Amino acid sequence: MAKAALVIMAAGMGSRYGGNKQVDGVGPNGEFLMQYGVFDAVRAGFDKIVFIIKPEILDLIRSMCGNMVEKLTTPDGRKVEVAYAYQTYDSIPKFYHIPEERTKPFGTCHAILCAREVVNEPFCVINADDYYGVDAYRTIYEELMRLPKDGNATMVGYLLKNTVTEHGTVSRGVCQTKDGHLTFIKETLKIQLFPDGSIADIDSGERVDLPGDTVVSMNFWGFMPSIFPVMEQYFEDFLRNAGDNIKAECLLPNMVGDLIHQGKLQVSVLSSKDRWFGMTYHEDRAMVADELKRLQSIGVYPAKLTD
């Protein structure tokens, strides 16, 4: 099996959740959601785990996840490497003046660029606070092994109806596909599930209905390391246009969509038989905890992930 890295974005602030959900022990034995991602990725064949974090949670992530990684091996017996990258303002290009009022990170593109120095192999990107499913990691690992090195990427798509919550709006990368490839993606920031089961984008103030079987991105991307120079240029162009906007974020779906439009990137869209779930709001926690307990009870996971 060839080398591949799992890159976990764990530096987000979790403002809608009401706390640092990346380190909320929601599993039966207090496991983080990202621990399930690590476990599933390694048994799919990934032999490197990269955590993108805030510097202040390094000790916590190392004790809860880094030490766990050191005990794992891939199906063919390879040891798993662990690395850490910090998403801080120190990595912002010197030409850009950061507004004093800015508190948010600069988004998912910036997060991935922060890991550039420690990622030299094909890699998969995930959110730390999402559960993607065992089959999804196997599927994307196999695709990464097949993809040509330049100008290609991949993603696992999920059905919109399986990714919304009754507790508030969510943001999703709404996709259009053709012949198994992504043709268009739009980061849609306020998607609402209504009591009658219908789903709509309400960001503009007007309701735009979305079919439940719309394919969406959950930031489960697969890239070649050749994406880094392209991403760096994209991020610098973003900063030049961001000005003093203290909330502007450079997001992976927007970058991917622009590169597809320019003919610079081809993205295969994969499907998974597993169900996605996550904790956008604190009210989602009970459902996630129940589902993880169920998966453990039917043998998808061992009694303790960290044994």
pLDDT of residue 17: 43
Task: Kindly list the distances between the CA atom of residue 89 and the CA atoms of 27, 52, 105, 126, 231, in Å, as whole numbers in the listed order.
Answer: 32, 13, 8, 21, 17
How remote is the C-alpha of 197 from its chain's centroid?
26
The mean pLDDT value of the chain amounts to 90
Which tens digit of pLDDT belongs to each residue from 216-271? 999 899 999 999 999 999 999 999 999 889 989 999 999 999 999 999 999 999 98
Cα separation, 295 vs 293, in Å, equals 6
> Which string of DSSP letters, residue by residue, matches 20-40?
-GGG---STTS--HHHHHHHH
Global confidence as pTM: 0.90
- Going from the N-terminus, what domains does the chain have, and what CATH number goes with each? 5-297 (3.90.550.10)
Backbone conformation region of residue 108, classed left if phi is above 0, alpha if psi is from -120 to 50, else beta: alpha
